[in-house]
Each structure stands twice: as C-alpha cells, then as structure tokens.
Structure 1
Amino acid sequence: MADAYTGDRIILKDLGFYGYHGVFAEEEKLGQRFFIDLELGTDLAAAAASDRLGDSISYADIYDVVKAAFETRRMKLLEAVAGNIVNDLFAAFPGVSWITIRLRKPEAPIAMVRGEAAIELHRQRKPA
C-alpha cells in the first residue's frame, strides 16, 4: 500500500492568528500568537487541466474554515485546537483525503530564549 500522505496537495504556511488557547490563566486572559502550516491531500488533476477554480479548492475558503475553527472554541491544548481545525476542514471539503497540520506557539510559557513549541497531526478521512 502506498503512503497515505503522498500525491497532490494544497499547502498553506505561516497562517498567523491571535488566540486565547492554553492551560494557564495568563494565556486565557492575555492571549498570544499562533502559526499554522497545513497540507491538504486532494486530487488536483482536473484543476491543472481546466484552469478553473471550480475544479479545485479555494485557498481563501480553506483559510475561512481554519480561522472560524481557531477563533470560535477556546481550548487548553494545541492538540485539541488542531483536531477541531482538521475536523472542520474534512466536513467542509469532501475532496480532501488527508490533512497534515502543524500548530506553532512561539510564545509558549516556558523559559526558552529562542524557538517555539509545536504539535503536528497527520489525519486521513475516515471511511463513511
């Protein structure tokens, strides 16, 4: 069987959001920056041949789903935030077969001079 995360993909990187996700009271009160990288596996052959947006998935539509999922539910864990985004993307775009999401938190409340905390999820669409 081929690797599930191969083939055509739509990629969005460094999507920046300000949010109030976190375990600590200061995170929920003050908020902080978050960055999201996404890869969505979908067949892009029709769009490549037709040059029509209707044969693909609009980056703007993907962004709108990510923004709504990120902003409407406050979560304690990055894993839960990313899981919500993945679920909403699968619901919105039936042609997406797999998603890789990396959620980065550069101002995590740990004593680091440089760097960021992050999680990455790899999810395949569950069979109907």
Structure 2
Amino acid sequence: MSKIYLEDVKIYAYHGVLPEENIVGTYYILNVELHTDLWKAAISDDLNDTISYADINEILHDEMKIKSKLLEHLGGRIISKIHEKFPEISYIKLKITKTAPPMKGEMKGASIELEKNFSANN
C-alpha cells in the first residue's frame, strides 16, 4: 500500500469548550496519513494520477476555520471532507494536537487521533 503524509501542519485556530478558547485561539498541529495507490503517478509523473498535497492542505485549513467544541468533531469533519473529495483513499489517520490547552501544568499539547478505513472489507 502506498501512503501520503502531511506532517506537523501548524494552523492557528479557535476551538474549544471554554468561551475564551474561541476568542484567544491557539496553534494546532495536524498530522495526516493517507493510503491510496500511488503507482500510476510513480510511472506517469502526472499530478492528475495522484492526490494533490496542496488540496489536502487546503481542506485542513478550510476545516480549521470552522469552530468546534471538540477536537473529535473537528477531526471527523476533516476526515469526511478528505474522503468526499478523494474517494480513492482507502484509509485516513489524523492526529490533531492543541498546543496550549487551558489546563494545569506544563505540556507540549493535548491530542486526539482518529482513524477510518474505507476499504470494501470493512
């Protein structure tokens, strides 16, 4: 299986349950793993035979602009949009990290990870 990764995409956005999170905002780090057949593009060297990284990046940015209370909801929306635009993707794994969650203590961030298998066997 062939894979495409977008790694450590950093986007400033406004998500959270607390009202101040929707005003102040913070950086989010997104990591996406996509499974699809890349061999046609490996032979043709033609963008039309693959998934455009730029299109995936655009989906990430567009969905991050829409406020959600929960990262789980945000992640579900992103996965749905990616698969809607690129039904040839058989599997998507998405990790979203909120870099400054409003919690006690010092931490690098709080994350969720969602996986969805779109293959015919599931």
Partner residue, 1:31 = 25
| Percentage of pairs with the same residue | 37
Classify 1:126/1:84 alpha carbon distance in 2 versus 1 (closer, same or farther; 3 Å).
Answer: farther
* Distance in structure 1 (CA, Å) of the matches to 2:59 and 2:92: 14
Q: Deviations over 1:10-43 (max 9, x none)?
A: 1001111111100111101111111100001100
Could you say what secondary structure the match of 2:28 adopts? Answer: strand
Letter in 1 for 2:99: P
Matched, 1:11 2:5: yes
Q: CA shift at 1:126, angstroms? A: 7.1
The answer for unaligned runs of 5 or more in structure 2 is: none
Say how many residue pairs are matched.
Answer: 120
Which residue of structure 2 lines up, in the alignment, with residue 125 of structure 1?
A: 118
After TM superposition, the runs of 4+ consecutive aligned structure 1 residues lying more than 6 A away are none
Matched to 1:23, the amino acid is V
Matches within 5 A, 1:1-128: 7-71=1-65, 73-125=66-118
Secondary structure of the residue aligned to 1:25 is coil
Q: Quote how far apart the aligned CAs of 1:8 are.
A: 0.9
Cα RMSD for the two superposed structures = 1.2
1:64 deviates by 0.8
TM-score, length-normalised on structure 2?
0.93
> Structure 2: how far apart are the matches of 1:74 and 1:126?
30
Tell me by how many angstroms 1:114 deviates: 3.0
- Normalised TM-score (structure 1): 0.89
In structure 1, C-alpha distance between the alignment counterparts of 2:113 and 2:105, rounded to whole Å:
20
C-alpha distance in 2, partners of 1:112/1:121?
A: 25
Gaps of 5+ in 1: 1-6
In 1, distance between residues paired with 2:105 and 2:31? 22
**2:28–2:97 CA contact under 8 A, matched in 1:** yes
